[in-house]
Amino acid sequence: MTARPSRWRHKMAAVPEVEESLLASDRASDGKTTGWQGRHRSLFQRRGIPTRVATFMTLAVLAIGYQCEPERSHAWGQYSPYFKVHSEISSDVPPQCHVAFAQILSRHGARDPTVSKTFAYSQVIKKIKSKVRNFEGDFAFLASYSYTLGADQLTEFGKQEMLNSGRAFFSRYEDLAKNLLPFVRASGQRRVVESAQGFNEGFHRAKTAAAGTEDKEYPYNVTVISEAAGSNNTLDHGLCTAFEASDIGSIAQSTYASVFTPSITARLNANLPNANLTFPEAILIMDLCPFETVASSSSTPSPFCALFTPTEWKQYDYYQTLGKYYGYGPGNPLGPTQGVGFVNELVARLTGKPVVDHTSVNGTLDTNPNTFPLGRSLYADFGHDNDMTAVFAALGLYNSTFSLSTTHMMTVEEMHGNSAAWTVPFAARAYFEKLQCEGEEEELVRVLMNGRVLSLESCGADALGRCTLGRFVGSLSFAQAGGNWNQCFKRSG
């Protein structure tokens, strides 16, 4: 399988497993905006909108993320492209306040399926093509369809998502960012490192455009934390053996799949005679919708998407949410514990004090001011959806969410926004802000999840969703005590 060339070249720190060939530049020499944002700009201009206005409208599109067929694309679980989630509380910096500290915890951009999934998808398509003679109606496209997706790597769409994220981070925190650089870390998988690089490039482009001068500090450093077996890494789980053996998430998904997939499978089999698709295969076909979309050169929804109704996509999002909730979140006794290490790092950054942790923190890196500096105002960390889910659980961000049913679908509102699509889509952005406000003796903390301000109920949030720094840190006793890490290595029986 041929690997896609990387678009970014960056200075690297602690990256023995990342080959230089993977970091080669593939940047367009003419500086044109590419990807779906470029097509939006072209569309605006074809309609007679002036270039300057078209650019402004394009940036507005970037700020809200992917908006094609939102009734479907915003319900693809963790495979949804990034989109800005509606916030009941204004996400603007409140009057008489300024941001003194900002941390982004980001998922990598849109990617191809994993190796195991790409094999499963190719097999189900092979099965359909070998058994079905005629493809009609919405299924007619399958007559000429061939499965060509790769495995594990960022798509061009995913790379553009990360450029957009870097631009958005600079724009939101420009008062800090015009004079400071974020300290950037990435978990060691190639797509995560490349996502961090893309973010850096987007930040750099925005900074250069704002200043109108050369950015001599670019390319920026990326500190990479190894994902090798046995490595301590707060951005990638793998140490807690009892957790790694858990199948609670997959059991929850299987239970709900038996509820929502029978009618879908029956309809697919009625339109694909002799295919004899199973419930799990029906879900594989649903998966192809987001993966083909983010791999498409046009970034428009794949024909697979129209095979399912908006209601079925909500059920699909709920199915994926169950995998996160019971696999890595509060529904798994050891799920939140996998996020404890990062939470303790966040506390250290917010308070300017050394990390105190005995779980997944890498002590070699976190005691070195070059690889874990304190006293910075901007930080950016890049990892995976599962680990972000565990971090959010360790922080108690969704403590008000009741246990999720495995026999009927709960709405996003009933889950208080704790759906996979709203929390960990591709290129997800969780912002942790520390505010200094007039009339307040203590700094205030607030959290934005993909643009949505979360009310920090566990520490007595005010009307704007904020807690004082002391109350926020005080609410994190679970993480500060190490969660349930002592249960990670107990032998059963």
Q: In degrees, to the nearest 5, what angle opens at C-alpha 347 toward C-alphas 86 and 332?
A: 65
- 40 is a catalytic site residue: no
**Residue 60, pLDDT score:** 53
Q: How far is CA 180 from CA 100, 120, 185, 196, 437, in A?
A: 12, 46, 16, 17, 21
Q: In this prediction, what percent of the chain has a pLDDT beyond 90?
A: 85
Sign of CA pseudo-dihedral 120, 121, 124, 125: negative
Q: Are 329 and 339 in contact (CB under 8 A)?
A: no
Residue 25: CB atoms within 10 Å: 11
- pLDDT above 90 for 338: yes
Catalytic residue among 10, 40, 74, 108, which?
108
Q: Among 19-33, 173-187, 390-404, which is the least confidently predicted range?
A: 19-33
pLDDT at 235: 98
pLDDT in tens, 264-314: 999 999 999 999 999 999 999 999 999 999 999 888 999 999 999 999 999
The arithmetic mean of pLDDT across residues 224-253, rounded, is: 98
* Residue whose tokens read 């600079």: 170
Looking at the whole model, is its pTM more than 0.75? yes
